[in-house]
Amino acid sequence: MRLPRRLVTLTITGLLASTISVPPAYAEGIPDYPGASALRTGVENKAVKKMQQAFIELGYDIPVANGKYGPATTRAVKRFYAENGDSEDGTSVGPIGWNEIFISLESERAANKSEKEYDEATSEEVIAQLNPEQVATVIPEGQRGKQPARGTSSRSLPYRMPVVGEISAVYNQKGRRWAGRRHAGIDIRAPRGTVIKAVVPGKVTFAGWQHAYGRLIILKHADGTTSWYAHMSKRIAKKGQVLEVGDKIGLVGASGHTTGSHLHFETHNSKDEKINPVTWLQRRAWKVDPAPAATDPATPAAEPVAVEK
C-alpha cells in the first residue's frame, strides 16, 4: 500500500496519544490488528465483523455485519483504499489499512458530535452575531446564519456574494474530500473567467498560490476578520491593495485541489479561526434595508427595498 500521507497521520496520532489525554470519542482506541490471515476474502471471524461495523457506520454499502469477508466487504475495502489514494483490489486488509479504517471512524464520530453541537446552537447565539438593524430585517429568525440550499443562485440571497453563480457546497458540510471531513467555507459554481468582486472593504494581505487553495487572495477587514477567495484562474488584486465594495479580486477557475470551476469563499475571525461565512456576510454585506418600525399601530410597515450595489 502507498498511503504516504496516512503514514504521517498515524505517526502524529501516536505521538499525540502519548502526550495528551484521550477524548471520550477515542476512549476505546484502535483495535489490535488481528493479522493478515484474519482479514482476507473467504474468512469469517470477529475481526471482520468489527471492521464491517466500522464500514457501516462510515456509510459504506454493507448490508449486515455478519463477519464474512465476502463481495460486499471486498467492495467496501476497495472503495476505502481508493478514497485514500491507493489502488488495492480490496481482497485483504493490512495493518495500515486497519488502523486507517478506525481512525476514520473516530474522526466521523467526532465530526458528527461537532455537527450536533452546531445544529443545537441557540437562536440567541445567532442573533448576538448580528447588529440591531439586521435583526429587524424581514429575514426570518430561523434563517439568520443558516446555510443557503445547494443549487441556490447567489443572486437570490439577501446578502451580497463575491461572485454570481450557484451554491454547490456550504459551510460545515460533511464530505470525505475536505480536510477534517468538514467544508470550511461556501463554494459557488460559476464558469471559468467569471469576475469575483469584493463585498466588504479590505486590504489584500496575501495574493499567491497556497497548496489546496490554488490561486488565493486574502482580504483583511477593519474588524480584524479575513475573507479568502480560492481556486481562481487569475488574480487581479495585488498584495497591499485596498479594495472597496465592487472592486475586482480575480476570476473564477479550478486551480488547486478542486473537481471543477468554482469560487471557494471562506472567512476567519481575528484569531484566524474559521467562522460561518453566512453570519459574516449577514453582518457586513446585507442587500436589503432594515424594515422600518411602524409609528402608527394601524399603519403597516413598508416593504423593505432591495439596494442595488
Nearest to 118 by CA among 78, 77, 146: 146
What pLDDT score was predicted for residue 13? 37
CATH 1.10.1040.10 given to domain 4-118: no
Q: 136-284: which CATH topology?
A: Glucose Permease (Domain IIA) (2.70.70)
Q: Positive or negative, the Cα torsion across 213, 165, 266, 85?
A: negative
SS3 state of residue 84 = coil
Domain boundaries, given as residue ranges, for the chain: 4-118, 136-284
User: What is the arithmetic mean of pLDDT over 280-284?
Assistant: 84
3-state SS class at 44 = strand
pLDDT at 304 over 50: no
| C-alpha–C-alpha distance, residues 258 and 46, integer Å | 39
Distance, CA of 78 to CA of 40 (rounded, Å): 12
Q: Indicate if 136-284 has the same CATH topology as 4-118.
A: no
Which whole number is the average pLDDT over 218-237?
94
For residue 141, the SS3 value is helix
pLDDT tens-place string over residues 166-176:
988 888 776 65
pLDDT band at 128 (very low <50, low <70, confident <90, very high): low
pLDDT tens, residue by residue, 53-95: 999 988 888 989 999 999 999 999 998 888 877 878 999 999 9
Q: What is the mean pLDDT of residues 151-155?
A: 86
**Rounded CA separation 167/176 (Å):** 19
Query: Using CA atoms, how far apart are residues 115 and 294, in angstroms rounded to an integer?
Result: 39
The DSSP 8-state label assigned to residue 153 in this structure reads B
Least confident of 26-35, 78-87, 203-212, 271-280: 26-35
User: pTM (2 decimals)?
Assistant: 0.51
